[in-house]
Structure 1
Amino acid sequence: MKHVTFAEKSLLIGNEAADLLMQYARLISEQGGSDVVTVRAIGVDGNVVDASFLLNSATVLMVESASTDATEPDNREAVEYLRNRTEELSQPFGLPSDL
């Protein structure tokens, strides 16, 4: 699990989702785009929450390691979305991703 800090709020998010969120935020920023991504997280009160992140060139996001035994929230859909979008944005302009 990792702490993801956004707008002065820290949430616990699974490693893969947190890392992909950071990679996608970087790509969005580089390309001048924006997107809203929702992930499941553990809030400061220990409850599972849905957190929506507005990602754009002004996004300030920090991801840091966390030492916890908590079970990661299920982020299969968010991870799939982030992975697909990251791959799409990483491709040279105009080339299909299966080349």
Structure 2
Amino acid sequence: MKHLSYSDKAVFLDDETADLLLEYTGLLAAERGGDTVTVRAVAQDGNEVHLTVVLNAATSMAGESTNSDMVPPSNAVAVEYLREKIALIRTPPVARPIDESGLPSLPRLDGEQG
């Protein structure tokens, strides 16, 4: 579990989600992009919360390990989203030419262009 500081808030969440949030934030900052992500976490008062974070070049976020034995809430949906977004930044899709109809040109099954 990690202790994540964001703005004037601090929450506890699972290691994977915290690590992915930090990685995605760094990539967005380098790309001058932005996004909003909501994760489930545990607030400092012990209550489970939904934390929505705005991620961009101005985001100030830090994660640190903890020795707590508390089990943080699952973030399977957020983890999947973060992994997809990170993959798109690291390996963007290939651009395809547009034909006269304005639709992307797709290869034919017989191997010929068209």
TM-score (norm 2): 0.80
Distance 1:50 1:16 in 2: 16
Structure 2: distance between partners of 1:41 and 1:55: 17
Residue equivalent to 1:4: 4
The structure that has the greater radius of gyration is 2
Which is bigger in relative contact order (C-alpha 8 A, separation at least 6)? Answer: 1
Question: Cα deviation per residue 1:22-68 (whole Å; 9 max; x = unaligned)?
Answer: 00000100001110000000001101100000001100000100111
In structure 2, the residue matched to 1:90 is: 90
Give aligned-pair identity as a percent. 39
In structure 1, the gaps of 5 or more residues are: none
| Alignment partner, residue 58 of structure 1 | 58
CA displacement at 1:8 relative to structure 2: 2.1
**RMSD of equivalent CA atoms:** 1.2
Runs of 4+ residues deviating >6 angstroms: none
SS of 1:40's partner is strand
Unaligned runs of 5+ in 2: 96-114
State the number of aligned residues: 95
- Return the alpha-carbon distance in structure 2 between the equivalents of residues 16 and 57 of structure 1: 22
State the shift of 1:94 in Å: 4.2
